[in-house]
Amino acid sequence: MITLFHAPRSRSSRFIFLLEELRAPYEIKTVNIRRGDGSGMRDEANPHPHGKTPAILDDGVLVFESSAIALYLTDKFPKAEIGPVVGDPLRGPYVSWLAYYSGVMEPAWVSQFLKQEVPRGTAGWVNSSEVMEFVNAALAKGPYLLGERFSAVDILAGTTFALFMGSPLLARTDILEAYVKRVLDRPAYARAQKREQG
Ligand SMILES: N[C@@H](CCC(=O)N[C@@H](CS)C(=O)NCC(=O)O)C(=O)O
């Protein structure tokens, strides 16, 4: 049994979406987290090393960091076919996008939010306009980031774009709008919303 450590309105919501896509057996444990506005506090019940969400326990095994959890779960439930496995030609692109999501996309947005220039040649990421140029070009070629194949990377990216689209952080484009709609129209997303609302 998988336990998802979850806080409402946080990065853990999209793992309810992923677990629904995978048709995995899981339970949700709602925990408190520190919020950007100073509210909330670290919850001793949360095994994440920094008290963040998401984290999962799979029969006592702790997995944390969104991209790692996505890879772990899609590997564990390969029948759902939303995470190309070793030997699939899309495995390389899949793990690259997962790492890119955590290591480049998110830091790029944080840099922009903090109005910090990205020191090219020093930082391991690039500025958000360069990221979104790449993402829009990828999505112009296929309905999903891996082309024809929907994957857990679309859950991470699509739900994030849905949150920030139209804000100063994320320029609205027709391609991105259609992509977000495609991702959020999935029945698993509706099931996840219902499950999250209890
Ligand atoms: N790199 C982590 C980020 C997790 C994260 O920062 N989660 C936020 C909620 S969206 C959190 O738990 N914040 C509470 C804190 O920073 O203590 C991941 O992708 O899983």
Q: What is the pTM of this model?
A: 0.97
Region 87-110: what's the mean pLDDT?
98
Tell me, in angstroms, the distance from the centre of ligand 1 to residue 34's CA. 9
The pLDDT value given to residue 135: 98
Cβ neighbour number for residue 196 with a 10 Å cutoff: 17
* pLDDT tens column, 151-165: 999 999 999 999 999
* pLDDT tens column, 113-136: 999 999 999 999 999 999 999 999
Tell me, in angstroms, the distance from the centre of ligand 1 to residue 168's CA. 21
Tell me, in angstroms, the distance from the centre of ligand 1 to residue 173's CA. 27
Residue 178 makes CB contacts below 8 A (sequence gap 6+) with none
Region 138-147: what's the mean pLDDT?
97
* pLDDT tens column, 41-70: 999 999 999 999 999 999 999 999 999 999
pLDDT classification of 178: cutoffs 50, 70, 90: very high
Pocket test for ligand 1, best of 10, 50, 52 (most atoms within 8 A of CB): 52
Structure tokens at 89: 């030609």
pLDDT at 198 over 90: no
Q: Round to whole Å and give the CA distance between 152 and 146.
A: 10
Nearest Cα to 55, choosing from 69, 75, 40, 70?
Answer: 69
pLDDT classification of 179: cutoffs 50, 70, 90: very high
Cβ neighbour number for residue 119 with a 10 Å cutoff: 8
The pLDDT value given to residue 20: 98
Q: Residues with Cβ within 6 A of ligand 1?
A: 10-11, 33-34, 50-54, 65-66, 102
- Among protein residues, the one whose CA lies closest to atom 2 of ligand 1: 65
Q: How many helices (H) and strands (E) does the chain have?
A: 8, 4
The pLDDT value given to residue 46: 98
Residues facing residue 29 across a β-bridge: 5
Tell me, in angstroms, the distance from the centre of ligand 1 to residue 50's CA. 8
pLDDT at 166 over 90: no
